[in-house]
A and B are shown apart, each in its own frame.
Chain A
Amino acid sequence: MNWLQAIIQGILVGGQYALFAAGLSLMFGVMRIVNLAHGGLAIVGAYLCSVAMVGLGLPAPLAILLALIVMGGVGYALQRFLLDRTMGSGEFVTPLVTFALAIVIANLLFELFTSDVRSLQVGGLGTASLTITGSISVGLIAVIVFVLAVAILGGVQLFLNRTSLGRVVRATADDGATVRLMGVNHRVVFQTVTAFALVTATIAGIAFGIQSSFDPNTGTVLLLFAFETVVIGGLGSLWGTLVGGVVLGVSQTLAAQVDVQYALLAGHLVFLVFLFVRPRGIFPGTWQG
C-alpha cells in the first residue's frame, strides 16, 4: 500500500512541477526566451506573499492576490524594459541576461531576508489531509495545487486553440514581424505572455511555500525541476508539461520509498534517460498542440 501512496503523492507533486514549468514553457513557445530567472521570480512571489501576510498583516487570500498582481506587473515591466531589448541582440544575450537576473534576485533576497528558511502559514491548509482509503491519505493543499495545475495548463491550451486572441498569440509565436502587418503589436503580446507566465510562477511559488519551506536559493532548485519537467514532457507542449511533471514526481517519490536520499537523484536520472532516449520529450512538436 505504501507504493500506491507514493505513486499518488508523486502524481500530485508532478502537478506542482508542471505549474512551475508552465510559464517557462509558454515563454519559450511564444518568444523563444529561456528564462533562467523563472525559479527565482517564483520565489520572489512567495516572499511577497509572506511579507504581505506577516509584515502587513493581510489575510492570506488578499496577500496571495496582491502578490499575483505585483508579479504580473513585474512580468510586464521585465519584458518591456529588459527582455524586449535583449531579444534582438543574438540568441545568447537573453539567456545570459536572465541568468544574471537570477543571481541578482537570489542576492537581493539574501540581503533583504537573510538565509533564514521560511514558509507560508495558511491556517490549517498546509497540514490538512484527505483520506482516500483507510491507509492512503494525501495533503489537501497538494490536491488543490494539482487541480490548479490541470486547470491552468488546460485553460491556456484551450485559450490558445479556441479563442481569437489565442490565435493571435500562436501567430505571434510563428512570426512576430508579420503579425504586425495584421495590425497587432507583437510587443504587447510578448508583454502579456511574460506577465501571465510570472503570475503562474507566483502561484507555483506560493503553493510551494505553503507545502514546504524556502530560502533565497530555492529558486535554483525549482528552476532545475521546471527544466526537467519541460524536457521530459516535450518542449512547448502544455499537456506534455503536466505529464513530464508527473513522471518526474513519481520517479522521485518511488525512489524515496527505497531510501529518501535517492529521491532527487532518481528524478535527475530519469531526466537524463529521457535526454538520451527521447530528447524531444514524450510529446514532441509545438506547444500549439
Chain B
Amino acid sequence: MTAPPPSVSGDDTPVLTAEDLDVFYGHMQALHAVSLRVHQNETVALIGANGAGKSTLLSTLAGAKLPQRGTVRWEGRDVTHVPDHRRVRMGVSLTPEGRRLFTSLTVEENLQVGGRAKRRGDWTLERAYEVFPLVAKLRNRRADALSGGERQAVAIARSLMSNPRLLLLDEVSLGLAPLIVDQLYESLGAVIGQGTSLVLVEQDLERAMDVCDRLYCILEGRIVLSGTPREVTRDEVVAAYFGTRDDLRAEEGAR
C-alpha cells in the first residue's frame, strides 16, 4: 500500500460532510442534491451567481435552515437536526449575509456576544483586536455607525470569538472597496491554514481561486463543478458561473 499523497489542504478525514441536500423555501427548491465536504484546515470557496443557493447552503451547514432531504455530518456525527445555536457550541460558526451586527450594541459588545458560545481557544478580545486593527479602533463605537467594510471586519471577528473549528463566511467582499477587502484578507491570514477550516462565498473570482484549497461552483441550486484551483481552469469556472458550461463542452467537442 502506498501512503496517500500528502495534501496541502490538511488531513483526509473531513470535519464536515453534506450529502444530497435538498432545501426548500416554501415550494421553491433552492438546493438540489448538494454534496460537499470540508477537511480540517482546508479553505473551500463557493462560487456562483446571485440566487444560485450559496447563502442557503451556508445556512444549512450552520443549522439555521433545515434540509428536507440529505444529511449533514460534523466530525462524523449526524447533526442534520441540530439547531444553529447548538451547532455554534460544537464549533461551526456562520458570518451571515449582510453582516447582521447588533446595531444598538458597541463593537466590543458585539464581540462579547460572539464569545457567548464559550468554546475554548485562543480567540479573545485581545487577539481579535490584534488581528483586526480596524476593529480595535472602533471598539467603543455603536455598530450602526460603521461603514460596510468596518461592519464586515466586526462580523468576522465576532464569529471568530466563538473559537470555531469551521468558519462559514458569506459574501466576504460584497460591496466593499478593494483596499478594505485587501485588509480583510490580510486579517483572515490569521485564520486560513492555521487549523480552522473555512468555507467562503466570494464574488471576486481571482481572489477566491487564489485563497482556496478547493472550490465548488453552484448553479441554480446544483453543484456543477468542483476541484482544486489547479484542476479547474478559470474558463470552466466562468462558464459554471454563468451556466454556459454545456455550450463550452459542445464547442470543445466540435473542435
- Residue ranges of A at the interface with B (Cβ–Cβ < 8 Å): 164, 167-168, 170-171, 173-175, 177-186, 286, 288
Is B88 positioned at the interface, with any CB of A under 8 Å from its CB? Answer: yes
Checking A174, A177, A182, A286 against B88 with a beta-carbon cut-off of 8 angstroms, the contacting residue is: A182
**A168 and B100 contact, CB distance less than 8 A:** no
Interface of A is mostly: helix
Name B85's contact: one of A167, A170, A183 (CB within 8 Å). Answer: A183
Contacts of B86 in A (CB 8 A): 183
> Which are the 8 A-B pairs with shortest beta-carbon distances?
A183-B117, A183-B88, A174-B102, A171-B102, A178-B100, A180-B85, A171-B113, A185-B85
Q: Total number of A-B contacts with CB less than 8 angstroms?
A: 71
The answer to whether A183 touches B102, judged by C-beta atoms less than 8 angstroms apart, is no
A-facing residues in B45-102 (Cβ within 8 Å): 62, 64, 83-86, 88-89, 93-94, 96, 100, 102
A181 touches B105 (CB 8 A): no
With A170-B105, A286-B104 as known contacts, state yes or no: A181 contacts B96, CB within 8 Å.
yes
Smallest distance from the beta carbon of B113 to chain A beta carbons, Å?
A: 5
Do A182 and B158 have beta carbons less than 8 Å apart? yes
Of B94, B104, B112, B118, the contact of A181 (CB 8 Å cutoff): B94
Residues of A within 8 A of B103 (CB): 174-175
Q: How far is the CA of A183 from the CA of B85 in the complex (A)?
A: 4
A/B interface sample: 9 pairs, CB < 8 A: A168-B113, A170-B109, A178-B96, A181-B94, A181-B159, A182-B116, A182-B158, A183-B116, A186-B85
Find chain A residues with CB under 8 A from B158 CB: 182
Q: Do B102 and A184 touch (CB < 8 A)? A: no
What 19 additional pairs, Cβ within 8 angstroms, besides A164-B116, A167-B109, A180-B85?
Answer: A167-B112, A170-B102, A171-B110, A174-B102, A178-B96, A178-B102, A179-B113, A180-B88, A181-B64, A181-B93, A181-B94, A181-B159, A182-B88, A182-B117, A183-B89, A183-B116, A184-B85, A186-B85, A286-B104
